[in-house]
Each structure stands twice: as C-alpha cells, then as structure tokens.
Amino acid sequence: MIDAVFWGTMIPLVFLIILLKGENRLMMLFFAWGMVAFALSLPVNNLIHEQGGIPLSVLSVTWAPIIEEFFKALPLLYFLIRKQKTAFPLFSFALAAGIGFSIQENYTYLLGQTGAASSLTFYVILRSITTCLMHGMATGILGFGLTLIKEFSMIVLPLLFGLFSVSIILHALFNLYIASGVRLMGMLMPLLLYMVSVWILYRGNIMNAQAEQSDG
C-alpha cells in the first residue's frame, strides 16, 4: 500500500516540477527528494529491525535517526559546489526535504491507524505540527550550517560532521521524549525550533535590506 501512495504522490509531483523554473523547481526537487529519502530509509530500517533483532523502540533512538538524516541530507551537498547565491535561504531547501520525508512517513502511520476509533484528522494534525516539523528542523540545521560555510569560508568537514551529529541527536531526542513521560516536551520542541528559525530568517532579511539601503 505504501508503494502505491508513494507513486500516487510522486508522479503528479513530477508533472508539476517539469513546469516550474529556476529555484522554484529546485525547491520542489528537494521536497520530492524527501519522499525518495523515506522510500530508501524504510527498507534499511526494516532490515536492521528484522535481521538485527533490534526492537523498534530502540531502533527509533539509535539507527533510525542516523539512516534517515543521512538520506534526507544528501542533496544538500549540491550547495557545496554551487558558487552563485540562492534566492531562497539554504534552510528552506533543507526544510523542504525534511517535510517531503515526513509526509510519506505520515502516510505510513495513517495507514496503520485506519481501524482506530479515535479521530484520524486530529491524529494527522498532531503529527503535522510535531513529527513533520521535527524532520524539517533536523535537516534544516544542516541548511543553516551550509550558509555559514559558504558565507564565512569555514572548514567544511568538521562543521558538517558536527551539524549532522546535532541533527541526529535532535531526531533521537524527539523520538525518546515522545515515547516517555515528557511527551509534551517532545511535541513542543520542533515547534519552538521552527519559530526561532523563522525569527532568525526574518531578522536576517531585515538586516540585509538595511545593508543594501546603506550601500545604495
């Protein structure tokens, strides 16, 4: 069933991507890659779970964050070789990949809840403002890092490794909190990080606009 959902979403999306141009197309390509990243991560996670005998509760805070963040982040390496600046912040492209991943993951969990007596609408909304944002923010951290690398010519590999580690830790902590007695903390964490990121981007846009006016 999840394969049918994947192709039912991906094929119409490809038709849309073909019609787009420039960085709008690139943004949607990152979103589409997020869906592909989920399709690649799922069998790897299942293989580790089944062949390694690792319980899902343990997998969710150990191997799964590493595998999922790795696949989500792969296309961000493109910006290391791209010299010209982008119209959108690199954070936005990273967020798009994370959101694309989370939507496919939502489909999987939704299909597993079809027999539940509780409201599926509330379930999906709750996941959309918690898990979806977590996937977006975990990958978004790397987008922020790439911006620093390109603007300030920082050392690439150590910073990338550090930020990748932070994204994995954030992902693992979310999964740990959600399954524990501090579930509310886990649910609020992605939303707070998103709000902080939006504020940082907003302040950055204001500062850039002021700098351009000063130069003019």
Report the chain's mean pLDDT, rounded to a whole number.
88
pLDDT recorded at residue 115? 61
Q: Degrees (nearest 5) of the Cα angle 104, 109, 111? A: 95
pLDDT recorded at residue 152? 74
Least confident piece of the model among 8-17, 98-107, 125-134: 125-134
Is 117 a residue whose pLDDT tops 60?
A: no
Is 114 a residue whose pLDDT tops 70?
A: no
pLDDT digits (tens, 9 = 90+) for 130-169: 999 999 999 999 998 888 887 777 677 788 889 999 999 9
Contacts of 78 (CB under 8 A, 6+ apart): none
pLDDT recorded at residue 206? 67
What is the Cα–Cα distance from 200 to 194, expressed in whole angstroms? Answer: 10
CA proximity to 75, closest of 50, 94, 91, 92: 94
What is the Cα–Cα distance from 191 to 183, expressed in whole angstroms? Answer: 14
* Residue 68 DSSP class: H
How much of the chain, in percent, has pLDDT values that exceed 90? 56
Residue 191 carries which side chain, given as an amino acid letter? L
Q: What is the pTM of this model?
A: 0.89
Which whole number is the average pLDDT over 161-182? 92
